[in-house]
Each structure stands twice: as structure tokens, then as C-alpha cells.
Amino acid sequence: MPVPYATLNATTMLEVFAYANTVTGTWFWSMILASIFIITFGVLKVRNTMTDTLVASSWLSAILGMMLFVLSLISYQTLLIFLVLALGSAINLIMKKRNR
């Protein structure tokens, strides 16, 4: 039975990352990015408010998402989700600061 994907013949780490993404059907880096968001949210939530934590973790994920998008490791839909999350959390923070 033939192998559905070509065997790995990579000379750079970017090729290894792209291969991991190909084998998993483009889910690998999307899930890594979501995991980074969840982990930073959990770590920051210990000492900060919910709004501040959401802003920091979403902006970190959005910046990393932009880097991964430039490297063609995530789709534009995944990037758009994290950018909307970052923008929404920033707007939420601004509205809460105004109401204080």
C-alpha cells in the first residue's frame, strides 16, 4: 500500500514545520496557536483580571499568528479568528476603562 504523503526530506526547519502541517491537514499550527492562547490565558489569569488577561493572550496569539501566516503555516481564516479576538478584547478593555 502506498504512503499517502511523501516521506520527509527536509533541509530546513521550515520544511519540517510545513510537512507536519501537511500530514495533519493544516491543523498542526492552528492547534499550536490555540494552545499558546490557552496556556498564556491560564498563566496570566492567576494574577490579573479577566479583561487584561484576554487582551494580553489574544494579542500575543495574533502576533504569532501573523508570523505563522507569513510563513504559510496557517490559513487566513485562522489568522482572521485571532485578529478578531484581539481586536474584540481590546475594544472590551477600552469600554471597561471608560466606564470606571
Would the pLDDT of 80 be above 70? yes
DSSP string, 34-78: HHHHHHHHHHHHTTS-HHHHHHHHHHHHHHHHHHHHHTT-S-HHH
Cell of 18: 510545513
Closest CA to 73 of 5, 11, 27: 27
Cell of 21: 502541517
Amino acid letter, residue 52: D
> Quick one: pLDDT at residue 5?
62
- The rounded mean pLDDT for the chain is 90
| Long-range contacts from 27-31, C-beta under 8 angstroms, 24+ separation | 29/68, 29/73, 29/74, 30/74, 30/75, 30/78
**In the chain, what is the straight-line distance between the N-terminal and C-terminal CA atoms, in Å?**
66
Average pLDDT over residues 68-86: 95
Would the pLDDT of 99 be above 90? no
Average pLDDT over residues 66-78: 94
pTM: 0.85
> Quick one: pLDDT at residue 3?
62
Q: Note the pLDDT tens digit of each residue in 3-37.
A: 666 677 788 898 888 888 888 888 999 999 999 99
Distance of CA 79 to the CA centre of its chain: 7
